Every structure is written in C-alpha cells, then in structure tokens.
Amino acid sequence: MDEAVGARGGIGRRRFVGAVGAVAAGVAGVAGVTTAAEVAAAEGGERRPRQLFLGTYTSKPGGGTGIGLADYNPGTGALTATGVIPGVADPSYLALAPDRRTLYAVDEQEDGAVTAVALPRDGGGPVVLGSRSTGGAGPCHLSVHPGGRWLLSANYLSGSVAVHPVQPGSGALGPRTDLVVHDSPPPGPGQTGPHAHQIVTAPDGHHVLAVDLGNDTVYTYRLDPRAGKLTQVAYAALRPGAGPRHLTFHPSGRYAYLANEVDNTVVVCGYDPRSGRLAPGAPQSTGTGPGVSYPAQILVTRDGRFAFLANRGHNSLTRYAVAAAGARLRLLDTVPVGGDFPRQIAFSPDQRWLFAANQKSGSVTVFAVDARTGALVRVGEPFAAPMAVCVLPR
C-alpha cells in the first residue's frame, strides 16, 4: 500500500505524481546517460539533491492530496517525486521561514487559514504544526516578515490582509494579531469588490505592501514589530482596470515591477524607502501580442540585470533586460513555457534554474538561466504534478 506523510510521520513511498522528472536536455546527450544521477556523475560527480515543494488545490477535480514533495538535481535541474504532505487543504501558495526550517501554506478556502509545517534537519519527515484562521475568504498569498516573527497573508475573496505571530523555536503560528479590510478606493471596472492578491515586505524592512487586484491599488503599511499591527501610511492607484496581481522589487530597493493581470501590462514603479510610497510609471507590453495573456508573476535576478514574467493565457515567459539602474525594463523576447497556464514561477536558490508551475497541464517545467544573457533554455520534459499552482525550491 502507498504511504503518505502523516502529521507526525516520515515521508513514505507515496509519489506526488508517478513519474520521475526527465533529465535536463542540455546534458542528456552525454553518451549512455539516461538518469539524473548518471548525468551528474558524467559531469564530474553527483551533487546532493535539493528539496522542492509543490502547491495545488485539493478540493478541485484533478488536484492533489496535499503539499507535493520532490527533489531537484542542482547540476541538471531534473525533478524526482518523493512524496506528499497530506492534511493541508488547498495549499495554493507556499513560503519558507528565513531559516528554511518551517514551511507555510495558505488554505485557499471560504474559511481561509494558514498552516505551518516543521521541516526537521535530523532526517525526520515534515510535521504539520497546525492551522490558524486568516479571518477572511480565499487566502491566495503569504510571506514571512524578514525578522521571522510574523506571517503575513492576503485574502483574495474578502479583500483583506492578516498578520499572525510565529512562535520562537517551533515556527508554529499564534492567534491572528490583525486583519485589515481594503474598503477604499472603490472597486475597479468589472470588479465586485477588493481582492487582495499579494502581501510582501519591502527591502527596507519597515514597510509592507499589499497588492489588491479588485481595487487597482497597492497599499503600504507599517508593521508594529511588537504588537503585529498594520498601519496604512500610503497607497498607489493604478489606472482603472489594470488588475495588479504581483509585485517584486529590484535589488536596489528603489524600484518595483508590477504585473497587471487584467490589462496585460507591466509597470515599473519608483519606491521611496523613507515614506513607503510607490509611484507607478507607464504601462508596458508583455510581448504577448493581442488577446488576453493574464500575466501572473514577475521575478528579477539577484544581480538586478533581468526580469521574467509568466503569462498564463499566452503560455509563455517574457524576458526583460533591466536598464537605468532598475528604472526601466526593455522587452527582449518571449519563450514558450512548455505547459498550460503558468500560474507561478520561482528561481532555485542559486538562480541557475527557473521552475514554472503550470496549473491546467498539471506540470512543472524547468529552465536553465544563462547568467550572462538571461536567456532561458528549457531542460527535459515537463514534470507531472497535479494542478501545479506553486513551486518552491528549498
């Protein structure tokens, strides 16, 4: 009988999805090489596999049964399924604590919650520590404050953001300390109300930004580091109907890049670390041509030279060159993602690999990232993962 990860058990034999990830195409041509291990050996010795987590929907047909577990080969990018963490409902977005010893997941349901999972370093399996209510409906994003003391989450359906304390040592979550509802400005065209889609801490560490798709607004808060309370200090209005979804900062901390889901654009925003104010610039093309591309997530490289955007409707990744010390994006090209509806993308910690979670095709595709040019080269065949909506390398 297949086994799974129990609340107090280790990783069993149950596979998140049956097959082992394919070997990277760029190195699979080595004579006689057929597995990731053989590729690594042929390149000069095996490298220790790294862990990767997969978010999904458990309540939808074709979805998963919990948080998926896989390993990736840091030398080839090849993925291998290793199990599943059950007992977490609709874990559609995942985040790691700064010390990478605790995993957090949203429970994207009507009665929204966030769940903490301990990741022991002694060889034991993941341990589900418990869940806490977010006070809202449909939480779709969460992040850990850089100090590791607070977990921030965004409730999409109810248009609110929540704060939970992180217990020292264990990583477990305490009762919610704050809940802020986005009740102004009024919803944008075609929207029925606010829809908080992301909450993230600015590089300055003093401000928390919440992206609201329904209100076409990015809110800036200060987080009280002792009480866990949010105080709004500014907001930035996008053009009506933009539908801002996901924001990422340039390493300088002076600019941020915002993906707009509804009007298929990207906006470069100036950012003032002293006031927390965001200043949106002019909308830019996603390079996907006419039609709806539903931009999902944007990433920027650690050196600040390139940015990448996932386009769900176009099933592509757009590559931008970052210019003027972060103040401009120059569109370079788009690359087919090799899957259907790339909802989320993530770098490996060394940024050698980019992983794309493709929701409708139930797959993860892996790209090698050229550090010099930012070019993306797909490696191997898509890795099967039921309704993959989030991928998180450790």
Q: Mean pLDDT, to the nearest integer, of 107-133?
A: 94
Asked if residue 367 lies in contact with residue 357, where contact means CB atoms within 8 angstroms, the answer is no
Could you tell me how far CA 182 lies from the centroid of its own chain?
22
Q: Mean pLDDT, to the nearest integer, of 35-61?
A: 70
According to the model, what pLDDT value does residue 21 have? 38
Q: Check residue 143 and report its DSSP letter.
A: E
Q: Mean pLDDT, to the nearest integer, of 231-246?
A: 97
CA gap 34, 78 in Å, rounded:
12
Say yes or no to pLDDT of 37 above 50.
no
Give residue 18's pLDDT band: very low, low, confident or very high (50, 70, 90). Answer: very low
Q: Mean pLDDT, to the nearest integer, of 204-214?
A: 97
Amino acid letter at 38? E
Say yes or no to pLDDT of 174 above 90.
yes
Strand order in the sheet with 196-201: 196-201, 207-212, 217-223, 230-237
- Of 110, 105, 147, nearest to 129 by C-alpha is 105
CA gap 394, 386 in Å, rounded:
20
Supply angle C-alpha 98, 255, 144, rounded to 5.
20
Say yes or no to pLDDT of 29 above 60.
no
CA gap 126, 102 in Å, rounded:
9
> pLDDT exceeding 90 applies to what percent of the chain?
86
Say yes or no to pLDDT of 224 above 90.
yes
The strand pairing partners of 128, in sequence order, are 117
Amino acid letter at 188? G
CA gap 56, 94 in Å, rounded:
10
Could you tell me how far CA 109 lies from the centroid of its own chain?
18
Give residue 79's pLDDT band: very low, low, confident or very high (50, 70, 90). Answer: very high
Q: What contacts 251, CB < 8 A, 6 or more positions away?
A: 203, 300, 302, 303, 304, 326
